[in-house]
Amino acid sequence: MSPRRRGRRPPPEAMWCQQTRRGDRGQATVEVALVLPAVVVCLLCVLQAAVVARDQLRVTHAATVAARAVVVEPTVGAAQAAAEGAVGPDGHMAVTLDGDARRGGMVRVTVTAVPTALPVVGLAVSRLRLRESLVARVE
């Protein structure tokens, strides 16, 4: 025979356990609903930092390529075309030249860009400007 017989009520301790379990239903769902937005924002912050680092590498590469182009042809147009060719037309970079553009002169090439902003956390980098400067001797 089974220990529980028909018609017998379970002991009060067993009733209390059943009531507690019923009252805890959905607790994990509520906890996940409360924590999930914070986890998503943290992940977006990490991703935004990675995107800014990638954009800084692109600006550095564009400045290097633009400086190489200025060595041969010291014009803003040549530097801008070289920078866009290096990183693509979606870079939205500004290229400026300072210095002596005559043969044997030193020219500073500066590339400035705005980093890509992700939704929600992109406001944190909206005022940030990425900049890289290189000096080259004109041949």
For residue 118, what is the domain's CATH number? Answer: 3.30.1300
The reply to whether the predicted model has a pTM over 0.85 is: no
**Total count of domains within the chain:** 1
Q: With 80 as the cut, is the pLDDT of residue 33 above it? A: yes
Mean pLDDT for the stretch of residues 99-128: 92
Structural domain span for residue 96: 12-137
Is pLDDT of 16 > 70? no
**Confidence at residue 23, expressed as pLDDT on a 0 to 100 scale:** 65
**Are the beta carbons of 69 and 97 closer than 8 angstroms?**
no
In a domain, residue 16? The reply is: yes
> Closest Cα to residue 132, out of 35, 57, 82, 73?
57
58: its two tokens: 């692109």
For residue 109, what pLDDT band results from cuts at 50, 70 and 90? very high
- Dist. CA 80–CA 95, nearest whole Å: 6
- The predicted pLDDT at position 81 comes to 92
Assigned domain for 1 exists: no
Does a structural domain hold residue 6?
A: no
